Amino acid sequence: MPTTHRLTPGEPVRLAELPTAADSYHSDRKQAEETFRDLRQEIAYLQHRLYSEGKQKLLVVLQAMDAGGKDSTIRHVFKGVNPQGVKVTSFKVPSKEELAHDYLWRIHKPVPGKGYIGVFNRSHYEDVLVVRVDQLVPEAVWSERYEQINQFERLLTDTGTRLLKFCLHISKDEQATRFQDRLDKPHKRWKFSVGDLAKREQWDDYRAAYEDALERCTTDWAPWYVIPADQKWYRNLAIARVIHSALTEMDPRFPEPEDLEGIQIV
């Protein structure tokens, strides 16, 4: 598996010290985009094998600040896969029914079954991010969730789910640029909410919450990748590399055909 951008369990996380720009890692956008397209084709083929085999499962978790690029990542990285074998779940504000259960109840159901890739657009980490920043529950409650999440993810991996977690790391300046782009382009205005500005004012609080989540929930069985995401072309390449590597290691195989000797089509 690629180690670039992967956090190490037990090491402190300081997002201000981690690059948001691509220039530290790749200087040739054209070459990066060509490599990405090749990887994407191979991901689609490996996903076809995974679905056909029906024995293994992969869960991809995406977290980011607002305008961090979760939707765009899903569109680009998973373009061309068989939609029957990939399920995307976007976690919004919990419903009344969901709030009546423990916070992981709504998370566990869409975890992919055998043969599937699951993609989480936001995830169980919202319960140590927005819940913490907006003080929706007391600190005594959310502070216990880091270890609960670690054990939940251990359960998933112990029962056969390969887990990849990506934090799309953008700068505050890039967020402002993307918000302005949404305002300026009519076809993007639906993505903008006045509430986004309130969240932007909480940037430092969210950064602190992310740092704690990344540091306390990077484990040997489910490490985080912090992906420089100011440049979408590099973000796509970096994530595709990790997903491609994971699927290659999983090495799904087409099932052996039944004994078809003597069968004729008439």
Q: 258 pLDDT band (50/70/90 cuts)?
A: confident
Q: Is residue 228 part of a domain?
A: yes
214-235 pLDDT per residue, tens: 999 999 999 999 999 999 999 9
The answer on pLDDT for 192 being more than 90 is no
Q: Which two tokens stand for residue 187?
A: 């076809």
CATH at 20:
3.40.50.300
Q: What's the chain's length in residues? A: 266
CA angle 224, 246, 50 (to 5 degrees): 130
pLDDT of residue 209 exceeding 90: yes
Q: What is the pLDDT of residues 114-165, one digit of tens each?
A: 999 999 999 999 999 999 999 999 999 999 999 999 999 999 999 999 999 9
In a domain, 48, yes or no: yes
The enclosing H or E element of 123 equals none
**Total domains in the fold of the chain:** 1
60: in domain? yes
- Per-residue pLDDT averaged across 84-96, rounded? 96
Nearest partner of 59 among 3, 4, 124, 103, judged by Cα: 124
| pLDDT digits 0-9 by tens, 12-69 | 999 999 999 999 899 899 999 999 999 999 999 999 999 999 999 999 999 999 999 9
**Contact yes or no for 61/123 (Cβ under 8 A):** yes
* Domain assignment present for 91: yes
**Which stretches of 91-212 are assigned E, i.e. beta strand?**
117-121, 161-169
174-189 tens-digit pLDDT: 999 999 999 888 888 8
Within a domain: residue 179? yes
In a domain, 257, yes or no: no
* 2 has a pLDDT exceeding 90: no
- pLDDT reading at 262 higher than 80: no
> Is 70 a member of any domain?
yes
Kindly state whether residue 188 falls inside one of the protein's structural domains. Answer: yes
What's the pLDDT score for residue 24?
84
Domain extent for 52: 15-250
Classified as helix, coil or strand, 107 is helix
